[in-house]
Chains A and B, each alone.
Chain A
Amino acid sequence: MPSFSAEVFQNEFISEGSSDVHAIVSVTCTGAGEAGRGGGGDAAEIIIVDTSGSMLDAKIVAARQAAAVAVDQILDGTWFAIISGTHVATRAFPYPNARVSMVQMEPGARAAAKEAISRLEADGGTAMGSWLKLAGQLFDTVPQATQRHAILLTDGQNQSEQPHQFQNAIDSVTGRFQCDCRGVGADWDVAELRRVSTALLGTVDLIADPASMAADFEQLMQKAMGRGVAEATLRVWAPQGSQLLWVRQVSPNVEDLTSRRVEVNPLTSAFPTGAWGDESRDYHVAVRVPPQAVGQERLAARVQLLVGQETVSQGLVKAKWSGDDALTTRIDPAVAHYTGQAELATAIQEGLAAKAAGDAETATTKLGRAVALAAETGNDEATSKLRKVVDIDDPATGTVRLKRSVDKLDEMALDTASTKTTRVNKR
Chain B
Amino acid sequence: MNENPPTDAAGQQINCPNCGEDAEPGDLFCEGCGQDLPDGITPAAAVGNRRPGGMAHPNASSPTRPMDMNALSPTCRNCAGTTFLDGYCENCGTPAVKVRDHWQERPATWVAGMSDRGIRHHRNEDGLALSARPEPGSRAILVVCDGVSSSADSDIASLAAARAARDVLERPRPDVPSVAGRISAWNERLAMAGAEANKQAIEAGRDPSGRAGERQDSPPSCTFAAAVFDSGVIVVGWVGDSRIYWIPDSGEPEQMSRDDSWATEQILAGVPREEAENGPRAHAITRWLGPDSPDSVPTRDSRVPDRPGWLLVCSDGLWNYASPARDLAEVVRALADEVQGDPGLLAGRLIDWANSRGGQDNITVALARIAPIPPQRGPAAEAALQPTQPMPEGWNLYPDADYGSPET
The B84-117 residues at the A interface (CB cut-off 8 A) are 85-86, 88-95
Inter-chain CA distance A245–B359, complex, in Å, is 30
| CB atoms of A240 and B86 under 8 A apart | no
Inter-chain CA distance A289–B89, complex, in Å, is 14
| CB atoms of A239 and B120 under 8 A apart | no
| CB atoms of A299 and B88 under 8 A apart | yes
Known contacts A241-B92, A300-B93: A293-B359 contact under CB 8 Å: yes
Total A-B contacts with CB atoms under 8 angstroms apart:
43
Is B119 in the interface zone, CB < 8 Å from A? yes
Is B358 in the interface zone, CB < 8 Å from A? yes
| CB atoms of B358 and A302 under 8 A apart | no
Chain B interface mostly: loop
Is A61 in the interface zone, CB < 8 Å from B? no
| CB atoms of A295 and B92 under 8 A apart | no
Residue among A239, A242, A295, A316 making CB contact with B86, cutoff 8 Å:
A316
Chain A interface mostly: loop
The A305-349 residues at the B interface (CB cut-off 8 A) are 314, 316
Is B56 in the interface zone, CB < 8 Å from A? no
Inter-chain CA distance A289–B78, complex, in Å, is 14
Residue among B85, B91, B120, B359 making CB contact with A240, cutoff 8 Å:
B91
What is the size category of the interface that chain A forms with chain B?
10 to 19
Known contacts A240-B79, A293-B359, A316-B86: A298-B119 contact under CB 8 Å: no
- The residue in chain A whose Cβ has the minimal distance to the Cβ of B122 is A295
Shortest distance from the beta carbon of B377 to any chain A beta carbon, whole Å = 51
Is A297 in the interface zone, CB < 8 Å from B? yes
| CB atoms of A299 and B120 under 8 A apart | no
Known contacts A299-B86, A302-B85: A240-B119 contact under CB 8 Å: no
Is A296 in the interface zone, CB < 8 Å from B? yes
Mask, A214-247, CB within 8 Å of B = 1, is 0000000000000000000000011111100000
- The residue in chain A whose Cβ has the minimal distance to the Cβ of B94 is A298
Inter-chain CA distance A242–B86, complex, in Å, is 19
Shortest distance from the beta carbon of B354 to any chain A beta carbon, whole Å = 12
Mask, B66-93, CB within 8 Å of A = 1, is 0000000000000100000110111111
17 A-B residue pairs with CB within 8 Å: A239-B89, A239-B91, A239-B93, A240-B92, A241-B92, A242-B93, A289-B93, A295-B119, A295-B120, A297-B94, A297-B95, A299-B89, A299-B94, A299-B95, A302-B85, A316-B86, A316-B88
Given A237-B90, A239-B89, A316-B88: 9 more A-B contacts, CB < 8 Å = A239-B91, A267-B91, A293-B119, A294-B120, A297-B94, A298-B95, A299-B94, A300-B93, A314-B86
Taking Cβ atoms with an 8 Å cutoff, the residues of A that contact B are 237-242, 267, 289, 293-300, 302, 314, 316
